[in-house]
Structure 1
Amino acid sequence: MYIHRSKRGIFFAAAVLTIMLALSGCGKNTDGGTIVEGKVNVITSFYPIYEFAKAIGGEEANVINLLPTGVEPHDWTPRSQDILNASKAQLFLYNGAGLEGWVPNFMKGLGGDNKVQTVEVSQGIDLIEADGDDGHGHGEEAEANSGHEGETADLHVDPHTWVSPKSAIVMAENIKNSYIDVDPEHQAAYEARYQELRGQLQALDAKFTEQLSALTNKEIVVSHQAFGYLCRDYGLTQHAIMGLSPEAEPRAQDLVALSKMVKEEGIRYIFFEELVSDKLAKTLASEAGVETLVLNPVEGLTKSQAQAGDNYFTLMEKNLQNLIQALQ
């Protein structure tokens, strides 16, 4: 019996390694956007910041998102046109906490005569130190890219702040304050729109708190380690197939151990996400004899989600429903 299990583990590990070799990143260009005279031009690094900046900026702002629809943000890098647009903008909003490793070079490319105000919107959030490397040195870049005190090069900071509505409220306030800094004439409008967005985020926070606290099961298995803030704020524990980046390669022996844990703990679903390959999640689910569900880190929209009118709130509502289904 022992030999049979060992062989099974070897076959599973071999299947995992085959999938890891087949996975590859993508290198699409940005969706575009042009500078508009007479408005506050805002460049955002990826989707959640773009959505919040649009909501708060209203008609006073022209918001250009660097990351294209359907592209996962961890390994994307900007083009020369993106740098040119940013050099003409009033605001450049990025997450920080080590997510955008390209930011230092991007800022150097803007030139010394630009007037763009750069804002790290994760400022003020109590950052999580992750256990493992993300595969691309994002944790090590956190100190250079972040103004957060206490970060050192040997710490791996979890950058996925926005996945928790509690953290998203802090980010929204930072965005609102940045608008007021560069355009104080329209402060009242920015404050009003921020309060509306804050109310939506607080309602979402209350819903997550109420519905997840009622569940007995608290452990989830996810494709990549993107849900640390969500788990911390709502009493869950994540077990990740991959690291902080979905491109960080898992070790086959870790996946074998994870499969064993899923069986022993009676976990019924493995979560995957749409912007990265689901092959490893489905392989693990097949090995453990369980099903799969989507848990979206809201790093961006797929083309079908964009066409359907999805946004941060609709995706987070779907996340809540899927968490309830998995943990009941």
Structure 2
Amino acid sequence: MKFNMGRALIGLLFIIVLAGCGRGGTNQLVEGKVNVVTSFYPIYEFASAIGGEDANVINLLPTGVEPHEWTPRSNDIITASKAQLFFYNGAGLEGWVPSFLKGLSQDSKVKTVEVSKGIPLIEAGEGADGHDHSAGASNANEPEAHEMDPHTWVSPKSAMQIAKNIKDSYVLVDPAHKAGYKSRYDKLAEQLNKLDAKFTSVLAKTNKKEIVVSHQAFGYLCRDYGLTQHAIMGLSPDAEPRAQDIIELSKVVKQDNIKYIFFEELVSDKLARTLAGETGVQTLVLNPVEGLTKQEEQNKDNYFTLMEKNLQNLILALQ
């Protein structure tokens, strides 16, 4: 029997395509499961954990991309139109959502859920003591009127409400699998409760309570665990601070005997390192868990491993 190389290659490609569909590969909808589209990483992780084998979860934001300035493509709108659930953070994080929702097909039955609903929101500039500690907050690029801090998930305590909203949404669209969703939610809630208890216990014992961060992403973490953030930039990591803001922050670093300036891995660390250099202190990572870097993805990091690393770095900085 003569071997036909062309047919063999076509057959192999067909098998690969089928395998991709079976896995629910990137942006692939899966028949017989609740198809869920999420706006960025933390929601994707929680939705995947709670959905389990009953759900196919597609994350819009690519690995290594910072979510504040990202916008979806037309293919993303098509995918969301055919899904059963669309989870987004809300509170002003995803500025593209209103036009995205208007772009959904007219026959779409997707249920859209703002997962931060129910979390008491922080107004822009509020630290743990209710005062503005963001150097970039007064920048002209930052809206002044009633801008809310969208970084709800960075606190394990607030993340519990996000998880509950996701669970309730699954049960609403797929009541037949309610028991599975509740069981997996209970497991995730237990993890979040343990993490919350650890943050509460450990941070209550630190000598210092002031942190200097690259952008104002840690308001909920600070509010829930008794800390105060001083941010180089405002709520958006691309808001450039003024020279006088940096001078004021330099004074804070020296007056409060701060030893570390925190930076993030998905945005430039230039300003954080500049401030650290000028004040003679060191830098450390404090991760807002807005997404995974390619290295973190390879390391199989997740919300819990990154938050544990955050806690260890906070302990070091607040001694």
Give the match's secondary structure for 1:113.
Answer: coil
Does the alignment pair 1:76 with 2:70?
A: yes
Equivalent in 112, 115, 120 of residue 114 of structure 2: 120
Corresponding residue of 2:35: 41
Match of 1:241, as an amino acid?
Answer: I
Match of 1:55, as an amino acid?
Answer: A
Q: How many residues of Structure 1 are paired with residues of Structure 2 in the alignment?
A: 284
Corresponding residue of 1:16: none
Corresponding residue of 2:269: 278
Matches within 5 A, 1:20-35: 32-35=26-29
Corresponding residue of 2:82: 88
Decide whether the 8 Å contact of 1:136 with 1:245 is kept in 2: no
Does the alignment pair 1:300 with 2:278?
A: no
Equivalent in 133, 150, 162 of residue 171 of structure 1: 162
> If you compute each CA radius of gyration, which structure gives the higher value, 1 or 2?
2
Decide whether the 8 Å contact of 1:166 with 1:205 is kept in 2: yes
Query: 1 CA distance for matches of 2:141 and 2:107?
Result: 31
Matches within 5 A, 1:244-323: 244-323=235-314
Decide whether the 8 Å contact of 1:35 with 1:62 is kept in 2: yes
Offset of residue 191 of structure 1? 0.3
Q: Closer, same or farther in 2 for the Cα pair 1:306/1:234, shift >3 Å?
A: same
Query: 2 CA distance for matches of 1:156 and 1:109?
Result: 25
Query: 2 CA distance for matches of 1:79 and 1:277?
Result: 25
1:3-35 Cα shifts (integer Å, max 9, x gaps): xxxxxxxxxxxxxxxxxxxxxxxxxxxx93211
Corresponding residue of 2:22: none
Find runs of 4+ consecutive structure 1 residues off by over 2 angstroms.
131-137
- Using structure 2 for the length normalisation, give the TM-score: 0.87
1:150-194 Cα shifts (integer Å, max 9, x gaps): xxxx20100000000011000000000000111000001000000
Give the match's secondary structure for 1:62.
Answer: strand
Amino-acid identity (%)? 73
Corresponding residue of 1:194: 185
Query: 2 CA distance for matches of 1:52 and 1:221?
Result: 29
Match of 2:207, as an amino acid?
Answer: T
Q: Closer, same or farther in 2 for the Cα pair 1:254/1:233, shift >3 Å?
A: same
Query: 2 CA distance for matches of 1:108 and 1:32?
Result: 23
Give the match's secondary structure for 1:325.
Answer: helix
Decide whether the 8 Å contact of 2:232 with 2:272 is kept in 1: yes
Decide whether the 8 Å contact of 2:78 with 2:105 is kept in 1: no
Give the match's secondary structure for 2:246.
Answer: helix
Query: 1 CA distance for matches of 2:252 and 2:140?
Result: 24
Offset of residue 133 of structure 1? 6.4
Offset of residue 263 of structure 1? 1.1
Offset of residue 135 of structure 1? 6.9
Give the match's secondary structure for 1:285.
Answer: helix
Equivalent in 196, 199, 204 of residue 205 of structure 1: 196
Query: 1 CA distance for matches of 2:160 and 2:84?
Result: 23
Matches within 5 A, 1:147-186: 154-186=145-177
Match of 1:129, as an amino acid?
Answer: E
Q: Closer, same or farther in 2 for the Cα pair 1:136/1:42, shift >3 Å?
A: farther
Q: Closer, same or farther in 2 for the Cα pair 1:40/1:134, shift >3 Å?
A: farther
Query: 1 CA distance for matches of 2:152 and 2:197?
Result: 18
Indicate the RMSD between aligned Cα atoms, in angstroms. Answer: 1.4
Decide whether the 8 Å contact of 1:241 with 1:255 is kept in 2: yes
1:31-87 Cα shifts (integer Å, max 9, x gaps): 932111111000000000000000000000000000000000000000011001000
Offset of residue 208 of structure 1? 0.2
Query: 2 CA distance for matches of 1:37 and 1:321?
Result: 43
Query: 1 CA distance for matches of 2:141 and 2:51?
Result: 33
Query: 1 CA distance for matches of 2:261 and 2:302?
Result: 23
Q: Closer, same or farther in 2 for the Cα pair 1:277/1:45, shift >3 Å?
A: same
Q: Closer, same or farther in 2 for the Cα pair 1:247/1:269, shift >3 Å?
A: same
Corresponding residue of 2:16: none
Query: 2 CA distance for matches of 1:326 and 1:107?
Result: 42
Decide whether the 8 Å contact of 2:39 with 2:59 is kept in 1: yes
